[in-house]
Amino acid sequence: MDVGIALPQMAPGLDRERFLAWCRAIDEGPFSSISAGERIAFDNLDGFTLLAAAASVTERVRILFNVVVAPWHRIPLLAKELASTDVLSGGRVEVAVGVGGRQQDYEALDAAFVGRFDRLDRAVDELRRLWRGEPLVDGAGVGPRPVRPDGPPILSSGTGPRSLARAARWADGVTGFTIAADPAEAAEVFRLADEAWDEAGRTGRPRRATGSFVALGPDAHNTLVGFGERYLAVFGERAAVGLSRRMPLHTEEALAGFLKGLTDAGCDEVVLVPASSDPALVGRIAEVVRSVR
């Protein structure tokens, strides 16, 4: 199983020096991908900016957009942005798309919340069409062309039965998330994805990915809980507190057990999302990853 790490864009203190330290450590470590996502009504650094920069300062790891909330975007511009980063990275881009879980972000962008699932389906079709070089207006397409002829792989972040049934028509795989770092929870998503692929007549099985929040080192438990309460506050104080106290990945033993459980569940890649911007966290995670291989 591959292990990727998200940049700590949602944790306080990520500046130029720390960003470069994270990129170097991830690229040099036993990791498969470096990733960032999207959130608008929050004080995070922009994920597209981070990954364009990461594409230029890394050489090996995949550049994973996780997650792009496609219904927010004008798709021709999105196609150009993703293809540009793919070119800068030498063809290392992979994209996870979804509808997001925060109506607040839609309101911040004056984007319609209603109809987002249909817009997601259409967005994926349009991305692939534009990446193939098909014309958009007056016979002109949207460049650049991605490095791979078919464009970057596209994963679905939707993990419910209805979302998976839709994704089975267009996705290369599924990427979920388990706040409780529960391999059984991830395995159930993988099972539902396999069923959706079979029902859609797809050959082979979908790529299986999941993720969870992590903090290691001094005062890791309080770091993880504090991060969770702040990041999840959009869902209300009660929910944020309750969910944060379900996050178990604050010891090396818990992380090792999670990785082993996901391997047994047939996971292809786990993306660990850091609760701290301290670059020392990368080294601590790397030690655990090496210990279970």
What Å distances lie between residue 202 and 168, 187, 197, 279, CA to CA?
8, 20, 5, 41
- Compute the distance between CA of residue 63 and CA of residue 6 in angstroms, rounded to an integer: 10
For residue 74, is pLDDT > 90?
yes
Q: Is residue 129 packed enough to be buried (19+ CB in 10 Å), middle (13-18) or exposed (0-12)?
A: middle
Per residue in 9-35, pLDDT tens? 999 999 999 999 999 999 999 999 999
Q: Write out the CATH class of domain 2-291.
A: alpha beta
| pLDDT reported for residue 141 | 84
pTM metric for this prediction: 0.96
- Vertex 77: Cα angle to 129 and 163 (nearest 5): 60
The residue extents of the domains of the chain are 2-291
For residue 66, what are its two tokens? Answer: 């996780």
Asked whether 150 and 86 are in contact (CB, 8 A), the reply is no
| pLDDT reported for residue 222 | 97
What Å distances lie between residue 157 and 134, 167, 208, CA to CA?
27, 9, 11
Per residue in 249-278, pLDDT tens? 999 999 999 999 999 999 999 999 999 999
Helices (H) and strands (E) in the chain — how many of each?
A: 11, 8
